[in-house]
Structure 1
Amino acid sequence: MTDVAQRSPGSSGPQDPGTPGAPDPNRWRALSVCLAVGFMTLLDVSIVNVALPSMESSLGAGSSEVQWIVAGYALAFGLVLVPAGRVGDLYSRRLLFVVGLAGFALTSAAAGLVQSATALAVVRLAQGVTAGLVNPQVLALIQQLFTGAERAKAFGLFGTTIGLSTAIGPLLGGGILAVFGEAQGWRGVFLVNVPIGLVLLPLAWRWLPKQGRARTAGRLHLDVVGLLLLAAATVFAMLPFVLTTGEDDPPARWWFLAPGLALLAAFAGWERREERRGNQPVVAGELVRTGSFSVGALVGIAYFAGFTGIFLVVTLYLQTGLGLSPLQAGLVQTPFAIMSAVFAQVGGREVSRRGRPVVVVGLVVVAVGLGAADVVAAAVQGTAGAIALSACLAVAGAGSGLVISPNQTLALADVPRAVAGVAGGVLQTGQRVGSAMGVAATTAIFFSTLAAQGSSESVFGEALSDGLRVSLGLVLLALVLAVVDLRRRAGHHPARDGAPDGGAAGHRVD
């Protein structure tokens, strides 16, 4: 077993170029702003799910428009993460954070005021772009402002934020719908972001570090061609999944993957060319060759594909199949959020001592919870089924808390601060792509079962069971990747002197 060795912030050891001599006195205030904004932007991935029936009836949205309202946000979100991370690294993380936050508040206001489903889908794309500007800066700022045990704690808090934002969305959305009414209450789901964003804007400008750009030797170079190639590859790779609704989907949509793969190959070739020329590529070769980062990114893609799709099909089952109100549906899923928040703190603490085994244990627990939920969905209906499902989700939430923040901590352990933004962007792009794939796959299976067998309560249970099996399979894929990495590392020395940001292969956390 290989451990992640913990060093105190004051310990002697290799550090990046640009490591500050003393901790930023505003670092915890800055973190609070980052977490609040991260929570708000990630919440919009899940909070919309519970309001979908309200949107459908109010705007007359069809299944394709509903899918774009949900998945279009994730598509645009993923599209700009790496470019935003790179620009933040080169110029100013604080500036991109503030611009993205202001844009998110404006697009939230627009989303709450639209009069058609098509307009809402378009605004959601714009809203996803602004969220994508902000989020890579969050990870980069944590990497920049914190070291040692403080960094592990900060990532633990960020993991709590991810878990809460994803799982508590249905509860908050249900509460808003209960207050404002189901006919127009969905507008409040978006408009609630506006005052929060306005409060956070001046705090971000005041507390985030003014010199947010990492210092790099030589001239600054923004690889525009590389950014465009990666953006286009991301769009084509995600399109087949966001176009999947489960109801008479055209098979031709999968042809989008061909240009996506071609563009990805072109991007890789261009990046190698830029590196040979001595320029600064979008994704540095050393980042891709860092084992801890590559494994963390792959585990994140597989896990988010399995983890994110759960909540949409569970919400559809509870509201449409069992006839629960949005608030009741949210309450059923709340135990996942609570357990995820609690165990994210445990995971953030334990990963500094135990490393990759924490993630492996977490994935096993998630798999157990989802397996139990699969059995419950197929066998138990009505109120008893909802209660049993809630208990199963609580188990899965405990495991999720041990996966997200520890995996991010390990993935970024060897990443120099100078490329922290693009590294965070790559990780989060993988998460958004995985999320889009997971949502598309689980909802497609869910709707296909309903289309084939009808819409009785028992059939809704079977549809949920089928969707959960897709999620379980993706979580098991993440588990296999984590176990293979753990076995690969067995017997290796935990660190190598002189490695940036704390050692080799993700074994140490600086």
Structure 2
Amino acid sequence: MPGRTADRSSWRALSVCLLAAFMTLLDVSIVNVALPSIKNALHASEGELQWILSGYALTFGLTLVPAGRLGDARSRRAVFMAGLVLFTASSAAAGLAPTILWLVIARLVQGMAGGVLNPQIAGLIQQLFQGGERGRAFGALGATIGIATAAGPLAGGALIALAGPAEGWRWIFYINIPVGLVALVLAWRLLPAPVRGEQQGLDPVGVTLLGVGVLAIMLPFLQERQWHGPGKWLLIPLGAAFLAVFVAWERRHASPLVDLALFRHRSYANGSLIALCYFAGFTAIFFIFTLYLQNGLSYSALGAGLAVTPFALGSGTASAIGGRAVSRYGRHLVVAGLCLVLAGLGAAWAVVEVRPGSGVAWLTALPLLVAGIGSGLVIAPNQTVTLSEVPYTEGGAAAGVLQTGQRIGTAVGIAAVGATFFATVAGSGGDWAAAFRHGLTVLLAFVVLALAVALYDLRKDRRLRPEPAR
């Protein structure tokens, strides 16, 4: 509860949350290196393979806000455990998939379960921790996000190498089963029981309006390569119209799905925009780098996964440090992290320009380590500052909105960076190094946007800060 110091039970509860977060976020990127094996085993088309990735991201993003609201209004522990059961069962179904349609449906359910779980984690951190301890808890969560995102290709490559290309892809789903079962038992024992009080309404109309709006905006980006023709982009203004109706509805509703007053807090509004822009950039690096290594330089799945390990190590270490330092440095830490990301990825661009051959994985190790350190100083501190003024009773829904923005940013970034990447490959006769550099240029532009918002926030903070007494 607010106002108290976190005890040992709070940190035990956090460990369960981090285990579930790692499992669900790992599945965002672990499948990338398994796609060639899945294509051969299930005779999948390019469009069907795309749905294995984009379907997970889509249902994950659609579920975040309603699930966060449900946890706030009823029981975060119960919703968390329901998400764990669904994720574990859908992982088993994905591993057993006899056809590509079966696998796509299982991935859709997996994404939905991940979207149910994740806002409960942020809500529980808001509930269990205060002050500097909350920053440390979000630092641990940020480390988990960074490591899971970057370690996915490595873990997937290792499992395929151990089990073989024919059956190895199934084990990237089977591995979730024992982890999910252990987490389920620990969640029942260690997560706090719901706080009894006045239960809030669930706003089904708001859920529907928000869901349709987010779906219409995300779908064209997720299907950018498979859905040919300009007609798909008409969904974006349609989605914007649904979101406008959603805002109007929420302002009049007695128990809204999202309290729009949250956006009156500058920390929450600017932090959400920083997260959207940054996730549009940083998550695309794994997508185009593994494609460059595997398709352009004939790296194995394991080799491509090892190449992004420096980013994971830097991100995990810096997130823990950033979580401890954010209460002192605030948004300044985010600005410093974004500058390191730009420096590291800019150096990687230069390396590929000068030495694009097979040794590029070794030559980019240090730049990726620097970028990973920067990323660790962005994700956790930004989340801590963004949610710092949010009441803990609204922590789940607020985190759901924040993470929905991250998912939309990811979809937009991968679509924009991927379109540039593949257009360069096609137009240059297969110059994968040039494609990587051009894609990286678009990626850096998104990070620059995030930096511009962070600097604007700092400037406003200085203007609003009271003059010291003379």
Shorter-normalised TM-score: what interval?
Answer: over 0.9
Q: How does 1:341-352 map to 2 (within 5 A)?
A: 341-352=316-327
1:421 Cα offset (Å) = 0.6
Alignment equivalent of 2:49, drawn from 66, 69, 81: 66
Aligned residues: 467
1:20 Cα offset (Å) = 6.5
Aligned to 2:215: 235
Alignment equivalent of 1:52, drawn from 12, 19, 35: 35
Give the aligned residue type for 1:222: L
Aligned to 1:170: 153
Report whether the alignment pairs 1:294 with 2:294. Answer: no
Aligned to 2:455: 483
1:227 Cα offset (Å) = 1.0
Aligned CA RMSD, in angstroms, stands at 1.6
Alignment check: 8 A CA contact 2:18 2:141 kept: yes
Aligned to 1:432: 407
Aligned to 1:493: 465
Counterpart-to-counterpart distance in 1, 2:384 and 2:418: 31
Alignment check: 8 A CA contact 1:94 1:212 kept: no
Give the aligned residue type for 1:122: I
Structure 2 unmatched runs, 5+: none
Aligned to 2:90: 107
Counterpart-to-counterpart distance in 1, 2:461 and 2:2: 28
> Whose relative contact order is higher, 1 or 2, with alpha carbons under 8 Å and at least 6 apart?
1
Q: How does 1:449-488 map to 2 (within 5 A)?
A: 449-455=424-430, 459-488=431-460
Aligned to 1:203: 186
Counterpart-to-counterpart distance in 2, 1:491 and 1:142: 31
Q: How does 1:119-134 map to 2 (within 5 A)?
A: 119-134=102-117
Once the two structures are superposed, residues 80-126 of structure 1 have per-residue CA deviations (whole angstroms, 9 ceiling, x without a partner) of 10000001000000000000011000111111111222332222111
Report whether the alignment pairs 1:406 with 2:381. Answer: yes
Give the aligned residue type for 1:101: L
Counterpart-to-counterpart distance in 1, 2:444 and 2:5: 45
Give the aligned residue type for 2:214: T
Counterpart-to-counterpart distance in 2, 1:314 and 1:346: 27
Counterpart-to-counterpart distance in 2, 1:190 and 1:105: 9
1:449 Cα offset (Å) = 1.4
1:185 Cα offset (Å) = 0.9
1:19 Cα offset (Å) = 2.8
Alignment check: 8 A CA contact 2:79 2:117 kept: yes
Counterpart-to-counterpart distance in 2, 1:114 and 1:250: 32
Counterpart-to-counterpart distance in 1, 2:422 and 2:170: 26
Alignment check: 8 A CA contact 2:18 2:144 kept: yes
Aligned to 2:171: 188
Alignment check: 8 A CA contact 2:16 2:187 kept: yes
Aligned to 1:270: 249
Moved more, 371-380 or 318-327: 371-380
Give the aligned residue type for 1:257: I
Q: With the length of structure 1 as denominator, give the TM-score of the two structures.
A: 0.89
Q: How does 1:17-166 map to 2 (within 5 A)?
A: 19=2, 23=6, 25-166=8-149
Once the two structures are superposed, residues 376-423 of structure 1 have per-residue CA deviations (whole angstroms, 9 ceiling, x without a partner) of 223322232221122221111010010000000000100001101101
Structure 1 unmatched runs, 5+: 1-17, 496-510
Alignment check: 8 A CA contact 2:280 2:443 kept: yes
Alignment equivalent of 2:285, drawn from 289, 298, 310: 310
Give the aligned residue type for 1:353: R
Once the two structures are superposed, residues 280-333 of structure 1 have per-residue CA deviations (whole angstroms, 9 ceiling, x without a partner) of 111113212111111111000000010111101111111111111111111110
Alignment check: 8 A CA contact 1:242 1:440 kept: yes
Give the aligned residue type for 2:239: G
Give the aligned residue type for 1:479: L
Counterpart-to-counterpart distance in 2, 1:284 and 1:377: 46
- The 1:490–1:111 alpha-carbon spacing in structure 2 relative to 1, beyond 3 Å, is same
Query: Which of the pair is proportionally richer in helix?
Result: 2
Q: With the length of structure 2 as denominator, give the TM-score of the two structures.
A: 0.96
Counterpart-to-counterpart distance in 2, 1:60 and 1:19: 54
Counterpart-to-counterpart distance in 2, 1:48 and 1:208: 30
1:346 Cα offset (Å) = 1.8
Moved more, 438-447 or 404-413: 438-447
1:183 Cα offset (Å) = 2.2
Alignment equivalent of 2:313, drawn from 334, 338, 346: 338
Moved more, 130-139 or 350-359: 350-359
Once the two structures are superposed, residues 247-278 of structure 1 have per-residue CA deviations (whole angstroms, 9 ceiling, x without a partner) of 7832211111121011000000001111xxxx
1:494 Cα offset (Å) = 7.6
- The 1:229–1:248 alpha-carbon spacing in structure 2 relative to 1, beyond 3 Å, is closer
Alignment check: 8 A CA contact 1:93 1:212 kept: no
Give the aligned residue type for 1:412: L
